């Protein structure tokens, strides 16, 4: 009888201990969520189902929107790729870093990235897809940019290309393509995949989004096996040109024009891979402790938007412009354990907000460093309803006489929308299509906004000239 009592007491003790350990583990997990940063390339605001496109097939992104939070006023830090990518990783304007446009620089070693900060906090860190923040091969020599691969910025595992590749069969020039990227022998021009610094030769056939995810999921599996939280940064090439879809995805759009078939087909293929990783997370009980961010680096590509193939939705303009269509992009956050389902918000947010949000969430402190983004945690907790910091964007290519800016503060926006235009003032709440320039009607507001932009530009310049870096 005593043996049974002692065994029962031992069982109760062990159960209590296990519950205590489980509670401690749950508390630990809530403080160290897994983080996935998904980014499309040149995806227009209007080229996803969750923003109202009735023709495109994006069921997994649409489900993310239904189960998470959709932003209707989310901005890229620039109307083109490399600058926005720098802003995602650093929480800082690309103008602080000297990354004014594509192929014109690289990520400086003095910048602190999300990957570096999370690696120091015990995270496994992986990068997969289009880097576009410097060369990734040390022997590579070109006239623009410099060697600055992802492994120099906190990423342990990398599977990356320097820049664009075709979105289907990424090592081959698509049939009929005669723009950039064609080598003398007819092959793709050398923007090739490297895995941890070594050239990849296998599993490079078919859809590019699937090729990327084939490397990202094993990285997550390894992190889970090692009982480490993970940061997976997955930057798709889709739907950047040359945008090509495989036969099974073209078949989903039989009635569309040929170029739109490829655009929509490639986006659907990317969506399928986003569904694949979400399914993996749920099947392995990781979904409630994983926060997924999704966005695009800028609005739709110029030639595709001008021809009506790609769409910025109701907004004016496209990539390379400071109209809303160039910088307002689709964006979602999904975190089943924390964010209530089906939320739609007009809270103004930016790609510069990712780093401040993540380090605030994790309680990570970093040295005093001017950040342009804000933490979204107070907003997600319901403690903040309006953004308390302006959003400033820019694009510069002085050799082409291009220097254009946007400055958004509350409902007002000033911008030089595109090359050759004067600064304009718009009320985005009343005029989201930017049809009515209010500069003459509200001169005091116009001047106040211009002063605000000038102050931000002066701060950018100080950073760019080395004020933030240690010597």
Residues 6+ positions from 32 with CB-CB distance below 8 Å: 121, 122, 123, 229, 362
> What would the mean pLDDT of 413-432 be, rounded to a whole number?
97
pLDDT of residue 399: 87
Percent of the chain residues past pLDDT 70, beyond the cut:
93
Average pLDDT, the chain: 92
Please tell me the distance from the alpha carbon of residue 264 to that of residue 325, in angstroms, as a whole number. Answer: 18
Q: Is the pLDDT assigned to residue 322 strictly greater than 60? A: yes
pTM of the model: 0.93
Q: Helix (H, G, I), strand (E, B), or coil: what is residue 66? A: helix
The DSSP H or E segment spanning 20 is helix 2-31
Listed by start position, the domains of the chain span 32-380, 391-464
CB count in 10 Å sphere of residue 125? 29
Q: Give the per-residue pLDDT at 337.
A: 79
Q: Tens digit of pLDDT for each residue in 57-68?
A: 999 999 999 999
Q: pLDDT value at position 419? A: 95
Cβ 231 vs Cβ 32: under 8 Å = no
Predicted local confidence at residue 31, as pLDDT:
64
pLDDT at 11: 34
Answer yes or no: is pLDDT of 16 > 70: no
**What are the DSSP E strand ranges found in 45-202?**
69-71, 74-75, 124-130, 157-161, 194-195, 198-199
Helix (H) or strand (E) holding 220: helix 208-225
pLDDT at 14 over 50: no
Tens digits of residue pLDDT in 145-198: 899 999 999 999 999 999 999 999 999 999 999 999 998 888 898 789 999 999
Residue 342 has pLDDT above 80, yes or no: yes
Mean pLDDT of 414-425: 97
pLDDT tens digits, 233-284: 999 999 999 999 999 999 999 999 999 999 999 999 999 999 999 999 999 9
pLDDT, position 367: 82
Q: Count Cα neighbours of 396 within 13 Å in the Cβ-side half-sphere.
A: 16
Fold of 391-464: Arylsulfatase, C-terminal domain (3.30.1120)
Catalytic residues: 81, 132
What number is the average pLDDT over the span 104-121? 94
- For 17-75, write each residue's pLDDT tens digit: 333 333 343 344 446 999 999 999 999 999 999 999 999 999 999 999 999 999 999 99
Residues 333-348 have a mean pLDDT of 93
Q: Which residues pair with 187 in a beta bridge?
A: 172
Q: Which pLDDT belongs to residue 173?
A: 95
Q: E-strand spans in 290-388?
A: 290-296, 331-334, 343-345, 349-350
Q: How long a stretch of residues is the chain?
A: 471
Q: Which percentage of the chain shows pLDDT scores above 90?
A: 86
Structurally, what CATH architecture does the domain formed by 32-380 represent? Answer: 3-Layer(aba) Sandwich (3.40)
């Amino acid at each position: 009888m005593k043996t049974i009592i002692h065994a029962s007491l031992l069982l109760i003790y062990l159960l209590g201990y296990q519950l205590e350990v489980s509670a401690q583990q749950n508390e630990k997990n809530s403080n160290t969520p897994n983080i996935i940063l998904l980014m499309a390339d040149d995806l227009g605001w209007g080229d996803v189902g969750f923003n109202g496109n009735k023709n495109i097939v994006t069921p997994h992104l649409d489900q993310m929107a239904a189960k998470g939070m959709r932003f209707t006023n989310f901005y890229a830090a620039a109307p083109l790729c490399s600058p926005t990518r720098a802003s995602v990783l650093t929480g800082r304007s690309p103008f602080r870093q000297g990354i004014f446009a594509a192929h014109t620089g690289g990520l400086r070693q003095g910048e602190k990235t999300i990957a570096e900060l999370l690696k120091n906090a015990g995270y496994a860190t992986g990068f997969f897809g289009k880097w576009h923040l410097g060369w990734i091969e040390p022997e590579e020599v070109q006239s623009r940019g410099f060697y600055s691969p992802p492994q120099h910025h906190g990423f342990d595992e990398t599977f990356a290309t320097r820049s664009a590749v075709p979105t289907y069969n990424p090592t081959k020039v698509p049939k009929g393509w005669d723009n950039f990227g064609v080598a003398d022998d007819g092959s793709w021009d050398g923007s090739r995949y490297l895995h941890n610094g070594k050239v990849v030769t296998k599993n490079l056939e078919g859809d590019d989004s699937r090729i990327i995810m084939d490397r990202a999921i094993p990285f997550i599996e390894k992190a889970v096996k090692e009982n480490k939280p993970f940061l997976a940064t997955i930057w798709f090439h889709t739907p950047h040109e040359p945008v090509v879809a495989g036969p099974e995805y073209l078949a989903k759009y039989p009635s569309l024009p040929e170029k739109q078939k490829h655009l929509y087909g490639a986006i659907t293929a990317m969506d399928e891979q986003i569904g694949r990783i979400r399914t993996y997370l749920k099947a392995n009980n990781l979904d409630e402790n994983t926060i997924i961010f999704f966005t695009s680096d800028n609005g739709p590509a110029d030639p595709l938007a001008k021809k009506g193939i790609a769409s910025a939705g109701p907004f004016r303009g496209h990539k390379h412009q400071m109209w809303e269509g160039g910088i307002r992009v689709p964006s979602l956050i999904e975190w089943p354990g924390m964010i209530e389902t089906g939320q739609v918000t007009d809270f103004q947010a930016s790609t510069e907000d990712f780093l401040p949000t993540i380090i605030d969430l994790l309680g990570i402190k970093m040295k005093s460093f001017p950040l342009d983004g804000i933490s979204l945690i107070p907003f997600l907790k319901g403690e903040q309803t309006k953004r308390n910091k302006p959003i400033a964007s820019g694009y510069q290519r002085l050799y082409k006489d291009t220097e254009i800016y946007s400055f958004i503060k509350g409902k007002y926006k000033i911008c030089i929308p595109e090359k050759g235009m004067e600064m304009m003032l718009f009320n985005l709440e009343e005029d989201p299509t930017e049809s009515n320039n209010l500069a003459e009607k509200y001169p005091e507001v116009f001047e106040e906004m211009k002063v605000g932009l000038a102050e931000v530009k002066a701060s950018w310049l100080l950073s760019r000239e080395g004020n933030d870096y240690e010597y």
